Structure 1
Amino acid sequence: MPLRVHGDMVAWASQLAHDELAGPLPRRWAHSQGVAARASSLATVIGQDSGLLRAAAVLHDVGYAPRLATTGFHPLDGARFLRDVHEGDERLVRLVANHSFALLEAEERRLRDVLEAEFPLLEDPLLVDALVYCDMTTTPDGEPTTAQDRVAEIVSRYGADSVVGRFIRRAEPEIFAAVERVEAALAMAQPR
């Protein structure tokens, strides 16, 4: 049954991510928790969609769960799982499917048409940027970092010539721009 109330959505998302990631992929679970913590810090900027952002943050990597990895492309696998098995909120599913410029990685994997057809990009630039910010400023162990260090870590871990390495280098300017936009929004939201 889809959960539409954001408080319930966050609790449901956290439990689901825990169930799928904590056992088989504890480091991925730590990262997801860190991304969700970052999302919590954006409540003043995101407003009424802060629960949606927190739910997407904790679920963004659920497609890495071994039992869900059917295509090997985690945004697509995770979004299909949320849509098909859990009848997840459409905006939540689309955020997970398109997190952190997934369309560029989908292109590298020759899955862009599939991703775009099944999960169109959410038309809420601030919410999309916020999820990029949360993901790209959190280490694999769930600690805060800079977007520059995170991109360098990803390239180092996967290799510059890998699918992920090529994708992240292509996405780098967009990632940095999204992070800058969110940081600017955070600065404007600070009381003076």
Structure 2
Amino acid sequence: MAAPLASWASRLAEAELSHTLPRRWAHTKGVAGRAAELRGILGTDAELLVAAAALHDVGYAPRIVVTGFHPLDGARFLRDEHGADRRLLRLVANHSFALLEAEERGFREALEEEFPLLGEPLLVDALVYCDMTTTPDGERTTASERVAEIVGRYEEDGPVGRFIRRAAPEVSAAVERVEAALVAQPR
């Protein structure tokens, strides 16, 4: 990839989402914008976070859907069609506690085997923060409002409904850790 990683990721996400899923594209742009705001706490990993934020929902694109589980479909697409960076793949595959949803959908083993969770807590938390403080329309929100919005959008007993209720305490904790890092950063 000749272009910087974040620029490439944004162009790819736009190509896959903007026409077929404009609301998902609005969310994606908002998440990537939030990621850019975290440059001060991520240093050299800031570009990777912005790229992961731009691509975190690419697996929703109709031409990419294989399993119907967007984190896995997106990461496989990025690996198989684009030879994407391994850390980027692991962030996309595991964004926002996807492992819990994978368990609900019967994909936990595949996700863990193909894309193990990245052992970089601040980077993982930062992607959760960006995704879970951005509405479906790309606006800012709180983590609790975002979780409530997701709960309201999906069937309570469906895999997403069960997953998000299980993940809610972890989402809140991740957002709090990032907010604490933002407050603590040198000015």
TM-score higher than 0.5: yes
CA deviation profile, 1:121-156 (whole Å, cap 9, x unmatched): 111000000000000000000000000000000010
CA deviation profile, 1:10-48 (whole Å, cap 9, x unmatched): 111000000000000000000000000000110001111
Distance between the aligned counterparts of 2:53 and 2:156, measured in 1?
26
Output the amino acid matched with 2:24: R
Distance between the aligned counterparts of 2:155 and 2:78, measured in 1?
30
Who is 2:91 aligned against?
95
Check if 1:113 corresponds to 2:143. no
Who is 1:139 aligned against?
135
Who is 1:167 aligned against?
163
Secondary structure, aligned partner of 1:120: coil
Output the amino acid matched with 2:6: V
Who is 1:9 aligned against?
5
| 2:122 aligned to which of 109, 123, 126 | 126
What are structure 1's unaligned runs of at least 5 residues?
none
Check if 1:45 corresponds to 2:37. no
Output the amino acid matched with 2:90: R
| Aligned pairs (5 A) from 1:42-81 | 42-81=38-77
TM-score, structure 1 normalization? 0.96
Distance between the aligned counterparts of 2:178 and 2:4, measured in 1?
26
Secondary structure, aligned partner of 1:176: helix
| Offset of residue 159 of structure 1 | 2.4
RMSD: 1.0
User: Percent of counterpart pairs with the same letter?
Assistant: 69
Output the amino acid matched with 2:183: A
Distance between the aligned counterparts of 2:167 and 2:117, measured in 1?
16
Q: How many residue pairs end up in the alignment?
A: 187
| Offset of residue 111 of structure 1 | 0.5
Secondary structure, aligned partner of 1:143: coil
TM-score, structure 2 normalization? 0.98
| Offset of residue 188 of structure 1 | 0.2
